[in-house]
Amino acid sequence: MGILLFSAIRVKDEACFVGEITQVEQLIKLTTQISALIHETQKERGKTSIYMSSHGQKFFEELQVQYQNTDRLIANVSSRLKVFNEQSERHYFSKSFADIVIEFERISLVRQQAISLDASVTVTIDYFSRLNKQLFKIISMLPNVSNNSNISQLSNAYLNLLKGKEKAGLERAIISSILSLDAVSLTQYLEAISLSAEQNVYFENFILATTTPYITLFEHINNSVATQRISVIRTYVYQQFFNNQQSTNQNVLPITYGGDSSALQWFAASTERINSLKNIEDSITDDLLTLAQQTRTDAFYGLFFYSILVFMAMAMALVIPIIFKKLQRNKKKLDKNINELNLTRDELLASEKIAALGRMVAGFAHEVNTPLGIAIGSVSQIQQIQKNLIELLSQDEVEEQDLLDNINVIETVSSLAFSNLSRAARLVQSFKRTSVDQVSEKSRRYNVKEVLEDVVFTLTSQLKKKAIIVELYCPDKLDVFGQPGRFDQLITNLILNSFAHGFTTDFANEMHNPLIQIEIDSTKNNLIRLLYTDNGKGMTPSTLDKIFEPFFTTSRTDGTGLGMYLCHNIVVNDMHGHIRCQSSLGKGVVFEIIFPCQAVLGLENEN
């Protein structure tokens, strides 16, 4: 009877899943049409911007053709949206559908006003951006409608690519208008900069969520001639505005970059890049559709299997109903508890890793703020001295000492700015290596001392709060092959554990020299020995016995109880070594970690 009940539930679940994945497949087909429409509205928006900015002198005939292309896709999307809206069980889809219909009905009026130049470029661009935003609401449903992780991840990458492409299309329209008018306002300048930054954010999120083949295609686009041309023109527009802003207080500043030809060059380069992104977009939709169809096929097989199982269970239930009912009930409870425990453990471990990285980010932000602030102040002072020199040189007579004094100040201040910018650059480089390694699971050759220095350097601001000194003793040329992210996480957790539990606020105030020492050396039998010590408050024997147990902590306000459990997991499971701890109350702590190292022999290709 238990098997019968289980099988019946599974049949119901599989049937629901088949229905869900069928709807996902329909939504993917719908989003394919919507993304094609967005691509056409992006082109219409760019061409309309140049047409209106050139006072109707350019792109009139191209716009007539573009109207036909856009209208054809609007009719197609409208019919598909109507069908999907009638079949969808999600009430919030109806609101989005109604908003899109309203925007579709306004497009004829917007076009008439644009052709007759009765509306401003900004108002016209805003309409197309608003329309695309409504269409994106439909596409943004895709990552959330399926429980399949592969579909959700690829859909998320797809959505970020579309949003980045939309920002690129809007930037195309804005800068096309600027170059056609040969003038730029502060609002346009700030909007152009914002669009460029937003593109980078969306494309970085796309890279994080997508697979290697699409990353390769995207990098090829980033290195293309069109992208380089876009960067040159964009930089020139920014520089022209900045230079003119220094010499005048006007709200609208002139831009000179080749007149009409520059606008056409910009539009052509941007369009080529956007079309290349569209190719990636189309490939992803093909993969999504294939993945949904394959998932639906697997679900059908599952439905068939569990249907057979139902019939078998019914036959067996006639023979031994009582025994199977009891066994099945116990099995379901046990499976549920195990799954919940495993899920909870995995989620907490992931949260602990992210929390450690978050603490590093906070420390990095605090640490890098000071040198950047000093550098900005120094540059500002140099600008003021520059003005003083200009005033001196404009006089009929100039004291040599005045010139020398100003030059000496410039030398001093520039040296200060350079030293602080160098420190900021080192902070950024250190944080970049550490954070990327902790996120990545890839194995590579790395220098142990460099990784240690990066971790300590990244945690400097946090260690300064309790005046903790970290001493490293490690050979300069100790290179190993493994996962530097795991090693980063191990050292970070050990240091943060000492910071939170070894050097508590009351204990740190009583100490004069809080100290952490990390010693690393290699043995003759291809092992790495890491000795980590601190002179903190230490532990009682009962605490020492439980230190590597999950969820055990001596302070619930400063941790989840997973820090040392994660260290043990990294050493034993990821690094295939062992970790031991020695401590007594008031005597600090000693961790001895030993793990194998294939790179001692230089054999990076061995497993």
pLDDT tens across 79-108, in order? 888 887 776 665 556 777 788 888 888 999
Residue 399 within any structural domain of the chain: no
Share of the chain above pLDDT 90, in %: 11
What pLDDT sits at residue 593?
Answer: 93
- Summarize the confidence of residues 14-28 as an average pLDDT: 70
Neighbours of 164 (CB within 10 A): 21
Residue 178 domain flag: yes
Region 367-395: mean pLDDT is 77
* Mean confidence (pLDDT) of the chain: 79
Q: Is residue 315 part of a domain?
A: no
User: What's the residue count for the chain?
Assistant: 607
Q: What is the pLDDT of residue 14?
A: 59
Is the pTM above the cut of 0.85? Answer: no
**CA of 518: how far to CAs of 187, 454, 476, 532, in Å?**
54, 14, 14, 5
Q: Is 265 left (phi over 0), alpha (psi -120 to 50) or beta?
A: alpha
- What CATH number does the domain containing 591 carry? 3.30.565.10
Residue 58, domain member (yes or no): yes
How far apart (Å, rounded) are the C-alpha atoms in residues 291 and 200?
A: 28
The bridge status of strand 515-522 relative to strand 469-473 is parallel
Does residue 36 fall inside a structural domain? yes
Taking only the tens place, the pLDDT of each residue in 101-158 is 888 889 999 999 989 999 888 899 889 888 888 888 888 887 777 777 888 888 888 8
- What is residue 259's three-state secondary structure? coil
Range of the domain at 517: 463-600
Neighbours of 79 (CB within 10 A): 11
Q: Is residue 93 part of a domain?
A: yes
**Considering only CA atoms, which of 534, 466, 545 is closest in space to residue 494?**
534
Q: Per the structure, how many domains does the chain have?
A: 2
- Which residue, 305, 322, 349, sits at the end of a domain? 305
In this predicted structure, the answer to whether residue 404 has a pLDDT above a threshold of 90 is no
pLDDT at 7: 56
122 token code pair: 């900004």
Q: How far apart are CA 156 and CA 145, in angstroms?
A: 12
Residue 326 and residue 304: Cα distance in Å, rounded?
A: 26
Name the residue among 591, 570, 598, 578 with its Cα closest to residue 356.
570
Residue range 344-363: mean pLDDT, rounded: 61
Residue 51 lies in a domain: yes
Q: Report residue 499 CA to chain centroid gap.
A: 29
Q: How confident is the model at residue 547 (pLDDT cuts 50, 70, 90)?
A: confident
Residue 591 confidence (pLDDT): 94
Would you say residue 329 lies in a domain? no
Last residue in a domain, options 249, 277, 305:
305
Would you state the pLDDT for residue 253?
45
Cα dist from 191 to 168, 186, 444, whole Å: 12, 8, 41
Instruction: Tell which of 271, 305, 339 closes a domain.
Output: 305
Higher pLDDT pick, 231 / 444 = 231
Sequence-ordered list of residues with C-beta below 8 angstroms from that of 473, at least 6 positions apart, any chain: 517, 518, 519, 520
Has residue 360 got a pLDDT over 80?
Answer: no
